[in-house]
Amino acid sequence: MSIKIDVDMTKCQHYGQCCFEAPTVFELDADGKLNVLTHEVDEDMREAVEAAADVCPMQAITLTDI
């Protein structure tokens, strides 16, 4: 099973907390804007992406099992 990652960029305020939880999925660019490096991860990344979604102060990250 895989996990689809969606970020509502209208909610995202680019705090970058998700980058600490899942640095292979999220990063802040040189301008401080969030980049999603991949929109789909394997099950072995579940704990990290769930933690990233939980820590987001704007609750802008949605995860869907696919």
- Mean pLDDT of the 20-49 span: 98
Question: 27: part of which helix (H) or strand (E)?
Answer: strand 26-28
Q: pLDDT category, 30, cuts 50, 70, 90?
A: very high
Averaged pLDDT for residues 18-35 = 98
Domains of the chain from N-terminus onward: 2-65 (3.30.70.20)
pLDDT value at position 25? 98
* Residues contacting residue 40 through CB under 8 Å, at least 6 positions apart: 2, 3, 4, 5, 66
Taking the C-alpha atoms of residue 45 and residue 39, their distance in angstroms, rounded to an integer, is 12
Computed over every residue of the chain, the mean pLDDT equals 98
Closest CA to 34 of 9, 10, 54, 64: 9
Residue 42 φ/ψ, nearest 5 degrees: -80, 170
| Helix runs in the chain, H state only | 17-21, 46-55
Amino acid 13: pLDDT:
98
